[in-house]
Structures are given as structure tokens and as C-alpha cells.
Amino acid sequence: MKKWLVQFASEDWIIVFAGAVILALAATFPQAMPVMPKTLASLEDWMSAGYMFLFVLTITYLTSAALKRPLKWIFPSLLVIFALTLASQLIASIPVVKDYGFEPVFFAVILGLLMSNCFKLPEWLKSAVQSEFYIKIGIICLGSTILFGEVLKSGAYGLGQALIVVFTVWYMSFWIGKKMKVDPEMNTMLASAVSICGVSAAIATSGVINGDRKKLSYVVSLVLIIAIPMMYLLPWLAGLMNLPQEVTGAWLGGTIDTTGAVAAAGALVGEEAGKTAIIVKSSQNVLLGIAAFIISLMWSYQGKDKAEKPTASVIWDRFPKFVIGFVLASLVFSFCMEPETAKTVGVVTKGFQNTLFSIAFVCIGLETRFKEIFRKSSRRKTK
């Protein structure tokens, strides 16, 4: 019994509890939850940013204390990380940048990389650099925004289309990557990103398989670089082919990776195309939970070296517990809450999730030094 209770003191379970507390607060007090401002033009914007910082700081302190980690330098470290996160949010909200479809996480990793590669970072700054921690809590929050009711709007045909597209594209992408000798971690992240919902799917998959954070940043960059030209190219091709708006919308929703780029591309075509595109993409997004669960089972069963066939207890030990939090969040918000309430709370948790992902990507950038990467590469070549 004691051994069974001890497992709940692990990092994975503490993250699940932290995510559950955040979602409970969002569901109970949605108006009181922090919101990341898109500008800093007013005193209210600065206060919103400060409130968000204090909220994230409190979570970091409490979880770090529970995990018996040093607390001394967390405040100044997180303050620098949060400032870079806020800067990435502001850059992404610039109208010209927004029109091109760049997301805050893209600029978050760039700002982190600039800091780590242009300056010598002090030791105290590393105290709050916990990218996996922020990613996993963000994934649990992501579960609250995936509502099964949204899929039902597209009917059985829409759900069938989503299932066929997601699993066919995932398998084909993984197969092609394997033929090209892409390593399993990056291949899995890429396959999930191109078949489901872009950045969010890549982040979720990386968390599930405990993937290399540097590889994750490469995948996210690739997804965004490909999604941006597709956002303009596909509507233009649809016009050349004289496709009806409903058909165009289904094509956009099933082909373009990121939800934001899908919405923008649909708007370029027309209102009907925009609605259809979002419904199709939402149908695919819901399957993220199923895909994450299946991938986590496969990865837990095989292990990274794939050398052993573990028992059920070993699979349970390896299984990432935050995936349980992600699935439970989706189920609770889908079936235990009124649809309108779930959507209202989902807007709050979506904003919080985006902030946590941006913080995580700043951390990934701060952890990545090109000099060390090249040094390791040259050592391998010498050997």
C-alpha cells in the first residue's frame, strides 16, 4: 500500500495534480483566471501580465517544493523567462507578423536561442528552466479544449474522414521518415504534427515519448515554415479548380497542419469554407487524445531500446501519467459540463496553455547552445 502511495509523489503525478487544480480553478472562477495580454499599451495590460506571472510563479514554487527542488533563484529566473515569453507574444501579435501565421512559440524559441548563444548565461537563470514541466501542464490544459461535441457537428462522415486522414497520413509520414532514416523520436513527432494539428500535436507527442526538446523545436519550425505558404497556396489552387466552398474548406481543414493557418486560409476563401475547414480540423484535433494514448502505450511497451518485452506493471511505470490528465480533462469537459460552459472555460485554459507552451519554448531555446552541438558533432566525426 505504501509503495502504491509513493508513486503519487513522482513528478508526473504532481504535474497531473497541478493541471487538475488549474482546470478546477478555471471552471469555478473563469473570470478571475489570468490572461496573457497581446499588447502592453495600457496599465491594465501590464497588470494582466503581472497576474499571469504571479500565477505561473506560484505553480512553479509549489510543485518545486513538492519535488524538493531548490527554490532560491526561481523568482529571478522565471522573471527573465517570462519577459522573453511576453516579448514573443507581442511580436506574434504585430499585424504583419500575424497575417503570415507565425505563432508565439516560434518567436519564443528564437528569443531563447539568441539569449543562450549570444550571452553567457548565469547559473541562477537555470533554476526555472524546466521545459518538460511546462509542456506537460500545458498538454493537460489542452485536453480541456478538445470537446467531442464539436466533432458530432460534422456527423459520422466528418468523423470517418478525420479518422481516415489522421491515421493514413500518420502511417505514411512515419513510413516515409523511416525510409529516409529519420530517427524514431523525430519521426514520431513529425508524423503526429503533419497528420493531426501541427504544433500542439508535436508538443503533445514529444511529451508522451519524452522526446529530445531540440528535435521538438526543429519539428515546430518545419511545421510553421510549411504551413505558411500552404495557407495562401491552397486557396489559390482551389480557385483555379473552381472547387465549391464546402469542398475547399474540407481540403484546407484536412491538409494544413496548424489550426490558426486553417482558419486564416478558410477566411481567404469565404465564410462557408471557413466553417467547414474549422469543423474538419476540430474533428482531427479531437483525435489527438486517442493518438497520444496509442503512441504512449506503444512507446511504454517498446521502451527506447526496444530490447525487452515488459510486464504490465513496467508498462504502467513507464506510461506518462500526464496523458491520463489530458484524456480525463477532455472527457470531463466534453461530458460533465454544459457545452457553452465548457467552451467559455476552454477559452481561458487555451490562453493559459499557449502561455505555458511559449514559456517551455523559451526554456528549450535557453537550453540549446549551438557551440556545444557542433562540438559533439565534430567529436562523433573524429571517432
Give residue-wise pLDDT tens across range 271-328: 778 777 766 776 666 667 677 777 777 776 665 555 555 556 655 666 667 778 887 8
User: Can you say whether residue 337 is alpha, beta or left, with left for phi > 0 and alpha for psi between -120 and 50 degrees?
Assistant: beta
Identify the pLDDT of residue 383.
Answer: 47
Strands (DSSP E) found in 117-221: none
Residue owning grid cell 469565404: 270
Q: What is the pTM of this model?
A: 0.71
Identify the pLDDT of residue 254.
Answer: 76
Identify the pLDDT of residue 377.
Answer: 44
Identify the pLDDT of residue 151.
Answer: 59
Identify the pLDDT of residue 310.
Answer: 55
DSSP string, 87-134: HHHHHHTSHHHHHTT--HHHHHHHHHHHHHHHS---GGGGGG--HHHH
Identify the pLDDT of residue 381.
Answer: 45
Give residue-wise pLDDT tens across range 320-374: 677 788 878 888 988 888 888 888 898 899 888 889 888 988 887 887 776 655 4
Under-50 pLDDT residues of the chain: 374, 376-383
DSSP string, 273-342: HHHHHHHHHHHHHHHHHHHHHHHHHHHHHHTTT------HHHHHHHS-HHHHHHHHHHHHHHHSS-HHHH
